[in-house]
Chain A
Amino acid sequence: MATESQEAAALETRLRFFLGGGHDSFEELALAVFQHQARVVPAYRGLLAGRGLDPGSVRDWREIPPVPVRAFRSLPLVSGGEAGAARAQATFRTSGTTGGEGARGRHSVLDLSLYRASVVPNAARHLNPRGQPLRVIGLVPQPADRPDSSLAAMTEILAEAWDPAGGHFVADAGWRLDLARLGQAIEDARGAGLPVLLIGTAFAFVHVLDEGLPGRRQSGPGKGTGPASGAKASRWLLPPGSVVVETGGFKGRSRTVGRAELYRGIAGRFGLPIGRIVNEYGMTEMLSQFWERAAIEDEPATPGERTLHGPPWVRTRVLDPETLAPQEEGTPGLLAHLDLANLHSVSALLTEDLGIAEGEGFRLLGRRPGAEPRGCSLVMEELFGGHGG
């Protein structure tokens, strides 16, 4: 009889085959991964025991109990618990700005190669299906400067996969952008004849647009969102075939700059069609990502009408926020993901994000625009720990 570690190794081999495009059954793998996690993640094991649930009795992946993403703040949700966390190759943190360290979620990644195995084929499918060489520019810090940022790590993985020069990171450890370096990196790409993959958070792009071009006087926010002009502006134009990836910043919070307006600004500044600007929805607690398909197929140019798509090893359900029962198709609800790439942590996740299923994907719903949360106490949530991202 195989030992537990042999079984785990066999499961990982099978999973890697699936991530690499091999044929397997998501349903079967999901149950096997769940049973594995129920054994090796102490907090998860405790939860199931507390509910009197025998993991072997679960026959449908939809019945796998999800953990709330918030619990990544308070518990080591990783194989081996605290001891496992101590062995992690990387520890990604959510970006909670208030509430102190304890309010930031912590995803311990035991094996970064599994992260790579998920990131690259999924991003390739949505951004670079032919796998051509690209110049990867991140409005993010070097992973060495910010080892806790999953976005920086993802950018580096894509750079290693596609950029012969290994990519450019134009933010410092405090996420401050060096716009001169950004301009230089774009110029270099043009010189090298490489299309650019430009990756940044919505906030970083707002900052780029508001700051205006180096060497050019601009005043006031929003002034920089118009199309750039003149000799200086031309150095910001991305080569043909480039893609911009915008991530985060629109979930859960109202904003001063709407997404459509931001995309118009990005398109104007970097000289590419809005259809080449793609949103990525990722979570620190999850090793796989969701992508819009705008860059690979005819999706609506209006960003608000696009849908997000995960890889074959991720399934998403939309649940009634009140009861956690599955919502009827077309009804908005809470998003719950099952990500097989989270092999060494917990795959079944309940998010705080609201969305609506649409076709093969889903749309993320933000807070109702302009509305302060109801009730004078609600905002205190922010003081006790911000939204992860």
Chain B
Amino acid sequence: MSAESPVLDRLEGAAEALRGLANGRVVRVLGRAGRRFLDPGDPLRREALARIPDEAGLSGPMARLLLDRMAGDWAEDALERLLGAEFRDPGVLEGFREGAAGDRTRALGDRLAFHLCAGNVAGVGATSLVRSLLVRSPVLLKPGQGDVVLPTLLERAIREEDPVLGAAAAVRYWRGGTPSALEDEALERAGRVVVYGGAGVIEAVRTRVGGRVPIVAYPHRISVGAVAREVAGRATARAAAAAVAAYDQRGCVSPHLVWVEEGGKTSPARWAELLGEELEALREALPKGPSEPEEAARHQQLRLEAELLGASGAGVQVRGGAGTSWTVVFEPEAEFRGGCAGRFVRVQPVEALEGLPSVLEVQAELLQSVGLAADAARREGLAEAFARAGVSRVTTFERQPWPPPWWTHDGQGPLRVLVRWSSLEE
């Protein structure tokens, strides 16, 4: 085994000291580091706001919203809730603690973790870094292109707050798919690999790691929405528009297709119109970033195709804003289809939301979140049916793009997948 990289040596060298830290200290340090990104006077926040729009292709207002939401999740109380949600007694991260069955258990991170992100939206890398430190795993993070600034600045903030935690985090970017000695060595030395990316990237990592150590994979997914007849109207359209607009719909939590139940005061076709009006309003309030040409090209193809279909009497209706700022396509037939063209969303009528699970089940592997707008009386029953169909997160449109730190990310506890357990029996 080669051991040539000073950064990996440094990270591994930090493992023991990191394991000696109490939860309170880790949470405090991360919380203080996170708070700096919310303080308008802090140079870190200013730098983040100056650099994120360019690198992530987001407008200034969108970058600000993203930073506010992300950094808000790194607040002390949010991190404490995360620990509490993941571990019955978060003390298991400090030492053996009595478990529910009586014997004592201990949760341990790795001496070195390697987190590898490819092609994600801004914020994924920094969140991954925080998770690793919470379970006391020193981490090398390779952020995705377009998400380098935030984890790099967070790493700096952590280092400035606390030397022990600071020594346990490193962010290094290299272009994905290119030969990297550091990547080779990290894959060889890490006790756990976390990978975010397309099927090809994940498969390549699996092949290279070859079952030696656990791999936590977060493949690309898409999200959808469902609107019950009793709430179909302006308010749900507005909330859905905000969910579509967040990170210009590039997140795995961004809805691409909304099913609207027939039989309400607002018909599905009318709801699609309202959604368009709300997206138009956001065009100025929360502008889209500069489109990548490939994304704009796809947007044009999809929009013009829909216009042709509409003109052919297929019942398709298409509405769009200037350029490729947004497009809403109303399709009379319910069929699971994506778009991935940046604020391009389909609306389809369904007779009853209760019929959706059979559609969702087929696509469960591709699905991330379902934004569900329905009366409280129906919500839980629908969520139960969706969950049985394989959906890992049912949420509201308001919360859809901003999952809380403790969300069941792709159906798994975000910290529990990063530890191994040890038990002490008497």
| B-binding residues in A (CB < 8 A) | 42-44, 46-47, 49-50, 66-71, 73-75, 252, 254, 321-324, 332-334, 350, 352-354, 367, 370-381, 383-384
Contact = CB atoms under 8 A, between A and B. Distances in A.
A380 B312 contact: no
A383 B197 contact: no
Nearest to A346: B308
Nearest to B289: A374
B57 interface: yes
Contact of A371 (B145, B199, B304): B145
Interface in B48-69: 56-57
Nearest to B147: A374
6 contacts: A43-B312, A68-B308, A254-B177, A371-B175, A378-B295, A379-B220
B340 A68 contact: no
Given A67-B304, A324-B300, A334-B300, A377 B256 contact: yes
Interface stretch (B35-43, B117-125, B134-142, B164-172): B117-125
Given A75-B309, A375-B121, A370 B176 contact: yes
Contacts of B98: none
Contacts of B264: none
Contacts of A47: 307-308, 311
A352 B292 contact: no
A375 B308 contact: no
Contacts of A46: 308, 311-313
Given A370-B178, A373-B295, A376-B252, 5 more contacts: A50-B311, A68-B300, A350-B300, A372-B176, A373-B294
A274 B305 CA distance: 40
A75 to B, nearest CB: 6
B230 to A, nearest CB: 29
B201 interface: yes
B122 to A, nearest CB: 10
A322 B175 CA distance: 27
Interface string B183-218: 000000000000011110100000000000000001
A75 B308 contact: yes
Contacts of B293: 321, 332-334, 354
Given A46-B313, A322-B291, A372 B297 contact: no
Contact of B301 (A49, A68, A323, A380): A68
B296 A321 contact: yes
Interface in B294-335: 294-298, 300-302, 304-305, 307-313, 323-324
Given A322-B324, A370-B178, A375 B250 contact: yes
B144 interface: yes
Contacts of A377: 220-223, 249-252, 254, 256, 338, 340
B267 to A, nearest CB: 21
B307 A50 contact: yes
B222 to A, nearest CB: 5
Given A46-B311, A46-B313, A322-B323, A70 B305 contact: yes
A375 B309 contact: no
B366 interface: yes
B201 A374 contact: no
B298 A352 contact: yes
A227 B297 CA distance: 40
B173 to A, nearest CB: 12
Nearest to B365: A383
Contacts of A353: 297
Task: Tell me which of A47, A334, A379 has the highest count of chain B C-beta atoms within 10 A of its own C-beta.
Answer: A379
Contacts of A43: 308, 311-312
B396 to A, nearest CB: 19
Interface in B213-245: 218, 220-223
A376 B119 contact: yes
B250 A374 contact: yes
A374 B57 contact: yes
Contacts of A383: 338, 366
A374 B297 contact: no
B247 interface: yes
